[in-house]
Amino acid sequence: MLKSWKLKEIVLMSVFAVVFGIVYLLFLHVGNIWSGFVGPIAYEWIFGVWFIVSIICMYIIRKPGAAVISETIAAAIEVLLGNAVGPRLILSGVIQGLGAEAVFAATRYKRFDLWVLMLAGAGSAVFSFVYGYFLGGFAVYTTGYVVFMLVVRIFSGTLIAGLGGKAVADGLLATGSLRGYAISRSKKGDIRA
């Protein structure tokens, strides 16, 4: 999968994964504090944070695997930094990355506009929710509450990961720091941009 990748793409993806592995762990604590006030739904509002690296890396690098590999590395970093969930969290990272990757694969890795990035965030939300449903004991909640949780997670994935991921990458692009990456070669107005 990484055979056609340039070393600088692998390095950039790894740097983003490490940075967001740290961010993910910090937001776990934010979620823990907030859930003390509003209950388990608290995490759903911020869940998009945990999908963002897959969107950023795919939007910049634009190669198959960028979403799932970056999300998996970020999850592994989070585990190494002390997330109490342990190695099971790495599987969560794989699943979240696959949710985003599936959307990009559906476009044959040719579209990277805002709508596709937002759909990728939603894809991560749906994949992670299905996984979380079985591991997180969501079956104890009423059907209406579970549906509400899913809707909020999709909303979070769409806005925080999709829209937020695009904003982060576009901000870096504007600084000139992403010259030589696929994102910088896309033309203005191109459906891939």
pLDDT in tens, the chain (193 residues): 667 899 999 999 999 999 999 999 999 888 888 888 988 788 899 999 999 999 999 999 999 999 999 999 999 999 999 888 888 999 999 999 999 999 999 999 999 999 999 999 999 999 999 998 988 888 888 999 999 999 999 999 999 999 999 999 999 999 999 999 999 987 444 444 5
Predicted TM-score of the model (pTM)? 0.92
Q: What was the pLDDT predicted at 64? A: 97
For the chain, what is the HEC assignment? CCCCCCHHHHHHHHHHHHHHHHHHHHHHHHHHHHHHHHCCHHHHHHHHHHHHHHHHHHHHHCCCCHHHHHHHHHHHHHHHCCCCCCCHHHHHHHHHHHHHHHHHHHCCCCCCCHHHHHHHHHHHHHHHHHHHHHHCCHHHCCHHHHHHHHHHHHHHHHHHHHHHHHHHHHHHHHCCCCCCCHHHHCCCCCCCC
Q: What was the pLDDT predicted at 82? A: 86
Q: What was the pLDDT predicted at 84? A: 82
